[in-house]
Amino acid sequence: MDYREHIEKVIDYIEENLQCEISLVDCARISGYSPYHFLRVFRAVVGLTPADYIRKRRISEISREIMQGNQWISSVAFRYGFNSKENFVRAFKMEHHILPTEYKAAQNSLKLYERFRFEEKGFSLTPQIREIRPLSLTVYKCDEDFVPNFWNKYNVRGLSQKLSGGREVRDYGVSSWNCEENKLDYYIGIKSEYAAGDIRGTLEISIAGGLYAIFSTPAATQDLFVTLIHKTWDYINGCWLPSCGYKRKNAFEFECYYEKSRLFSEDIYIPLEEN
């Protein structure tokens, strides 16, 4: 059964009323389903319960507004239904693992939750295929289940300049599959040649040179940057790799960019070998 028309009506209603009270009964009525059936369908289609979707969308819109304007955080949060600053701070920290004041001060890029849309075809990127030289990185190991939250902490704590001794350098996010623990290991840091500052708590990673596909994400706005990165990874894994004619090599994959550049674009490196 095609649920698209029913769910799109509910999404429209939610988006138009993010600053108002939204009830499950009203959402179910708009969808044309019973509350019980609506909950099941919404979660199956969107991947979240209606309550979680509304909460994430409100936090995302508040995050966008407090970065773009000079309004008090508490007044913006109140407009979106948070009855106290404390409740909003608690919800924001649960979502992003940093404080809203830290986010505003650092002006880092968050993984905001955009309006749900049914899959739109047409996104594609053409990578460069070339050999790269070996490099050594000084990195912190991720201690978060959700990688964007580790980037949040890395940026608001100024860990890049702490490692470099105050120099603005390119940051690297490195991933590798841990076969023993059956999970992805992730690290963030800088090139070891620039690590002239405080390197306590870090380790060194050596990335072998070789053949890589290099994807440059399209330029984005600050609020859409992390979402576009995830969209690019989805394209690489779901579209490009299955049909590219190469095999994904079992080696470090990495992404890099200058947070301070405000260009909101990054390069993603995928190791390859011939089929």
Q: Is 26 helix (H, G, I), strand (E, B) or coil?
A: helix
Mean pLDDT (the chain) is 93
Q: Is 267 helix (H, G, I), strand (E, B) or coil?
A: strand
Query: Sorting pLDDT into bands at 50, 70 and 90, what band is 242?
Result: very high
Q: Is 237 helix (H, G, I), strand (E, B) or coil?
A: helix
**Percent with pLDDT over 90 in the chain:** 81
In this structure, of 16-25, 117-126, 211-220, 233-242, the range with the lowest mean pLDDT score is 117-126
Cβ atoms of residues 201 and 214 within 8 Å? no
What structural domains does the chain harbor?
A: 4-106 (1.10.10.60), 128-274 (3.20.80.10)
Q: Over the stretch 59-68, which tens digit does the pLDDT of each residue have? A: 999 999 988 8
Query: Sorting pLDDT into bands at 50, 70 and 90, what band is 121?
Result: low
Q: At what angle do helices 4-16 and 24-31 cross, to 10 degrees?
A: 140
Does 200 have pLDDT greater than 90?
A: yes
**Sequence-ordered strand ranges (E) for 31-124:** none
The pLDDT value recorded for residue 239 is: 94
The residue type of 18 is: L
253: closest CA among 220, 219, 210, 192?
210
The pLDDT value recorded for residue 155 is: 94
Query: Sorting pLDDT into bands at 50, 70 and 90, what band is 162?
Result: very high
Q: How many CB atoms lie within 10 A of CB 33?
A: 19
Structural tokens at position 112: 């905001």
Q: Is 173 helix (H, G, I), strand (E, B) or coil?
A: strand
Does 185 have pLDDT greater than 70?
A: yes
Model-level pTM greater than 0.75? yes
Query: Sorting pLDDT into bands at 50, 70 and 90, what band is 179?
Result: confident
